Amino acid sequence: MSTLRKPAGTTIAAHAILITYTLIALFPVFVILINSFKTRRAIFREPLALPNADSFSLIGYQTVFNQGDFFLYFQNSMIVTVVSLTLILLFGAMAAFALAEYGFRGNTLMGLYLALGIMIPIRIGTVAILEMMVSTGLVNTLTALILVYTAQGLPLAVFILSEFMRGVSDDLKNAGRIDGLSEYQIFFRLVLPLVRPAMATVAVFNMIPIWNDLWFPLILAPAEEVKTLTLGSQVFIGQFVTDWNAVLSALSMAILPVMILYVIFSRQLIRGITSGAVK
């Protein structure tokens, strides 16, 4: 494939389209970033101008750090996202392995049942979930969020991972069995490393919606000590007055962890997305 030469025009056009898209996609992020370093007046006077000596201000960041428990919110978001992702990946991979590897009765039915969750949005069940959380006493805990997000992420994880796991060579698993590896060892030591790109894909697809979610934190965990970052940032948005400096600063900082995680996963992610296509 790489020896196939494409005409220069096509290459330039492709790059032009991709660069244009990148610029459009990054523009809002860029506007948030530059405005977070400006004074309130400068934000409204020239929203698209870069901060200069005159308009530069860290007032937004100061507000964020002084008011509210920003670090606590940050920590809450981090705990919820990381624990949910871990659980989604662990249980999703285990379920996928079972579906892909063992021909038990009802296998197909179980696979369909698990895939059903992809088609039905979990928010439809919000009222029922809230009632359940109230009766189990989990309202205003991070556990509530983690459980909901894990449930939300599992269907797609099982669906994607089981497809990949079917692709892992049977001979390899059988070689492991003959060498005396237990089924758990086969799963953790032989199969998981081979489906790492798929795991990264699932992680990224799940990470961003969880990190950005406002709905469930608002309903299930609105208390001060369990607020997530997205919910915490809402204190700066009032009905009549909105502290834009603070909002923009909070959002700028909220981008960071997602970006860091994305960089960690991205190489695997690209392999995961393309591996089906170029085989």
Where on the chain is the footprint of another protein (CB under 8 A)? Answer: 169, 171-172, 174-181, 189-190, 193-194
DSSP string for 13-42: HHHHHHHHHHHHHHHHHHHHHHHHTB-HHH
Closest CB to another protein among residues 138, 168: 168
Minimal distance, residue 195 CB to another protein, in Å:
12
- Single out the residue of 189, 193, 205, 196 nearest to residue 155, CA to CA: 205
The radius of gyration computed from the CA coordinates of the chain, to the nearest angstrom, equals 23
Minimal distance, residue 173 CB to another protein, in Å:
8
CA distance 192 to 198: 10
Can you tell me whether residue 9 is helix, strand or coil? Answer: helix
Closest CB to another protein among residues 139, 190: 190
Compute how many other C-beta atoms are within 10 angstroms of the C-beta atom of residue 52.
10
56 has which bridge partners? 38
Closest CB to another protein among residues 54, 171: 171
CA distance 127 to 215: 12
Tokens representing 215 are: 């709905």
Minimal distance, residue 201 CB to another protein, in Å:
20
Closest CB to another protein among residues 140, 268: 268
Q: Cα–Cα distances in Å, from 241 out to 214, 228, 235, 244?
A: 20, 22, 11, 9
Minimal distance, residue 171 CB to another protein, in Å:
4
The angle formed by the CA atoms of residues 226, 229 and 232, to the nearest 5 degrees, is: 75
Minimal distance, residue 125 CB to another protein, in Å:
38
Closest CB to another protein among residues 13, 172: 172
Closest CB to another protein among residues 68, 176: 176
Minimal distance, residue 215 CB to another protein, in Å:
41
